[in-house]
Amino acid sequence: VRGDDDSNKGSESIPMISMDCIPEGFFIAENVWNSMQELRIEKIKSETVVMKISNAVQNMKALCDQAQYAEESILSSISRLEKKVEDMKAKRQQLLKNPEFLVHVKQGQDEIEKELVATDYSNAVFVPIDIIEK
C-alpha cells in the first residue's frame, strides 16, 4: 500500500484549519501557516497509510496463526497415523510368526494320529477337498 494514488483524494477530505482559529495576539505569517497546513495534510495521509499497512499486517498475522494451527493439526494426524501403521505392521508380523487358527474337520477326513485329549495339527498340511477329489 503506497498511497500515491490516494494522496490527491485524501487532501480533499481533510478539512483546512482557518486562520481564525489562531489565538488573539498570536501572529503567524501566511506562508508559514500554509506550509503548516501542507505538513499537517501530509502527516494525516502518512498516518492513514500506516494504519492501512498495520491492518494488513494484523490480517497476515491472523492468517499465519491459522496456517500454523492447521499445520500442527495435520502433523499430529500424520504422527498418529504413522503410529497406527507401525502397530498394524507389528501385529501383522506377529500373525505371520504365529499362524494359529481354528479348523473344523469331520471325523475321518484327516490323516493325523489321534491323541486322547487334543490332536496336534501344528505340523499338518491342509489341502482343500476339491483338490483331493480330482
Backbone angles phi, psi at 103, to 5 degrees: -130, 135
Task: Note whether 1 and 47 are within 8 A (CB).
Answer: no
Structure-model confidence comparison of residues 83 and 96, the more confident one: 83
Which stretches of 14-103 are DSSP H helices? 30-97
Task: Note whether 51 and 59 are within 8 A (CB).
Answer: no
Task: Note whether 4 and 48 are within 8 A (CB).
Answer: no
Please write the tens of the pLDDT for every residue from 28-58: 888 888 898 899 999 999 999 999 999 999 9
Three-state DSSP at 76 gives helix
Q: What is the pLDDT of residue 99?
A: 65
Please write the tens of the pLDDT for every residue from 94-128: 888 776 666 677 766 777 777 777 777 777 777 77
